[in-house]
């Protein structure tokens, strides 16, 4: 894939769609309300992120694009907050209309004890007024001649109607601009005239009235929707199974995804829409753009919550050849931030540590059994100097860089961090695992880091070891040969 990401900074895109605010409220539950049999959440903090078409915009800006926004929010504090957030990331909000008759869409997620206990939605789903419609179309007529491409992010909140699509298609065609849409709803004929439509597998299945269960039904559904919708191209995203691009009179173009740990699919469709639009705006063919979007989606599902992919992440992913292992090696700082987010969403973190020099079946069992205790397994790997201090001057047999690559190839291992043995306490404090595992050849009372883990409510688990197998034993056997 020959894509020059540096050209992304020269693009200008218009995003029109349903703007939202995602609010996260974090707290603790210590009692049941005396007024009703419900939990009382003592709020500790809260934060806000851009949702809906706002997440598409966030992805575009993060990748370097200039973005102009068209949308409608309420004339309320949430509307102001949303516009302020868009302004803060550098988006042009001159096309955002504040409407007294609407609520700004806000989804509030209340999270306690590592799990979501309630979601509260505030929104207006009715179609925008005729007056607001005219204002949006007029702004589109002013903006579209100066942009490279138009993205439509439809979340079914009343802005992207059939009439709106028709107007946008007419304006886009008049100025020879490409129009790409992420759909909502059962009737894809609403998007007639759009250059590319990007439903996920579930949306395509519902719109066609037929379950997609295998390659054959996927191909039939894709062909059917392409025929009836009136769009030029149709991309069905299939999660871990990749994506399939359908074009008239062409064989379906399938892109397989690279296997990686999925933490959260929230916003993956937004990333796909943004990256395809950005790549096409930068002058690349649709197939190249779709392949890049597939790579970007694989990155973003490894993050938590609605998230954007960066240029650096894309470049690193593109450098990997088909034979390379997934980039699981990370820094302690990055792990600390990721673990806080994962635990806030109820994910259980498991940590194990060791030299893991000359990997053997006992290590494989340790990793598999450790992963089964939680959702994410982190392996803290002793650096070469530490191994020498622990095992002797002739160790390690395999250097840290190669040990990282070997561990990264294991499905059970999600992240690898290299550390100095003397810093184990710091590693545990930063990661704060729910479970720390060691082999059963250790005494649980003597496991280093046990007191730290137990102090904040975690525990130590001893994994049964494979008798008679160790790296030292194998190395000594080899030396005797």
What pLDDT, on the 0 to 100 scale, is given for residue 175?
Answer: 96
Tokens 């597998």 locate to: 201
Of 276, 298, 319, which marks where a domain is finished?
319
**Domain check: are 461 and 312 in the same one?**
no
Whether 242 and 337 map to the same domain: the answer is no
Separation CA 377–CA 371 (nearest Å): 5
Same domain for 56 and 15, yes or no, is yes
Quick: pLDDT tens for 208-254: 999 998 999 999 999 999 999 999 999 998 877 788 999 988 899 98
| Residue 124: pLDDT over 80 | yes
Do 308 and 448 share a structural domain? no
Catalytic-labelled residue, pool 22, 78, 182, 270: 270
Count of domains for the chain: 2
pLDDT of amino acid 265 = 46
The structure tokens listed for 99 are 């409407």
Instruction: Express each pLDDT in 270-283 by its tens digit.
Output: 889 999 999 999 88
Please state whether beta strands 243-247 and 233-237 pair in parallel, antiparallel, or not at all (unpaired). antiparallel
Domain of residue 419: give its range: 332-480
Q: Is 195 a catalytic residue?
A: no
Residue 437 to residue 417: CA distance in whole angstroms: 16
The string of pLDDT tens digits covering residues 337-389 is 888 878 877 889 999 999 998 888 888 999 999 999 999 999 999 998 999 99
Domain assignment present for 231: yes
Judgement on whether residues 349 and 298 belong to the same structural domain of the protein: no
Q: Which residues contact 230 (CB under 8 A, 6 or more apart)?
A: 189, 191, 192, 193
Whether the predicted pLDDT of 314 surpasses 50: yes
Q: Which two tokens stand for residue 264?
A: 């959260």
What global pTM score does this model have? 0.68
């Amino acid at each position: 894939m020959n894509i020059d990401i540096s050209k992304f900074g020269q693009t200008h895109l218009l995003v029109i769609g349903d703007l939202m605010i995602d609010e996260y409220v974090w707290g603790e539950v210590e009692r049941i309300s005396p007024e009703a049999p419900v939990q009382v959440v003592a709020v500790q903090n809260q934060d806000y992120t851009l949702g809906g078409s706002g997440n598409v915009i966030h992805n575009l800006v993060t990748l370097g694009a200039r973005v102009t926004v068209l949308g409608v929010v309420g004339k309320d504090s949430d509307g102001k907050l949303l516009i302020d957030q868009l302004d803060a990331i550098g988006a042009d909000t001159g096309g955002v209309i504040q409407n007294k008759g609407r609520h700004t869409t806000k989804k509030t997620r209340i999270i306690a004890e590592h799990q979501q206990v309630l979601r509260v939605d505030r929104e207006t789903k009715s179609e925008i007024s005729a007056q607001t419609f005219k204002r949006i179309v007029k702004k589109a007529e002013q903006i579209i001649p100066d942009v490279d491409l138009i993205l439509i992010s439809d979340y079914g909140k009343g802005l992207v109607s059939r009439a709106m699509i028709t107007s946008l298609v007419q304006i886009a065609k008049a100025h020879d601009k490409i129009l790409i849409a992420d759909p909502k709803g059962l009737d894809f004929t609403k998007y007639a005239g759009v250059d590319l439509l990007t439903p996920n597998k579930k949306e395509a299945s519902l719109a066609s009235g037929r379950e997609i269960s295998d390659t054959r039904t996927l191909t039939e559904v894709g062909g059917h929707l392409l025929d009836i919708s009136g769009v030029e191209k149709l991309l069905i995203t299939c999660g871990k199974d990749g994506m399939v691009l359908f074009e008239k009179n062409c064989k379906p173009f399938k892109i397989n995804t690279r296997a990686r740990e999925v933490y959260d699919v929230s916003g993956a469709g937004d990333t796909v829409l943004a990256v395809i639009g950005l790549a096409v705006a930068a002058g690349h063919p649709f197939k190249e753009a779709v392949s890049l979007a597939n790579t970007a989606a694989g990155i973003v599902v490894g993050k938590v919550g609605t998230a954007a992919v960066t240029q650096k992440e894309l470049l690193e992913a593109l450098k990997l050849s088909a034979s390379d292992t997934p980039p699981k090696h990370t820094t302690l700082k990055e792990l600390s931030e990721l673990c806080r987010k994962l635990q806030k969403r109820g994910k259980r973190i498991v940590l194990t540590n060791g030299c893991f020099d000359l990997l053997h079946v006992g290590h494989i069992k340790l990793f598999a059994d450790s992963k089964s205790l939680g959702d994410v397994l982190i392996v803290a790997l002793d650096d070469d100097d530490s191994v020498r201090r622990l095992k002797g001057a002739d160790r390690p047999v395999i250097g840290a860089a190669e040990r990282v690559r070997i561990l990264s190839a294991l499905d059970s291992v999600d992240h690898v961090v290299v550390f100095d043995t003397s810093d184990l306490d710091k590693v545990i404090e930063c990661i704060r695992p729910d479970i720390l595992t060691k082999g059963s050849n250790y005494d649980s009372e003597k496991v280093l880091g046990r007191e730290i883990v137990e102090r904040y409510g975690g525990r130590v688990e001893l994994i049964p070891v494979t008798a008679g197998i160790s790296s030292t034993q194998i190395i000594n056997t080899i030396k005797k040969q």
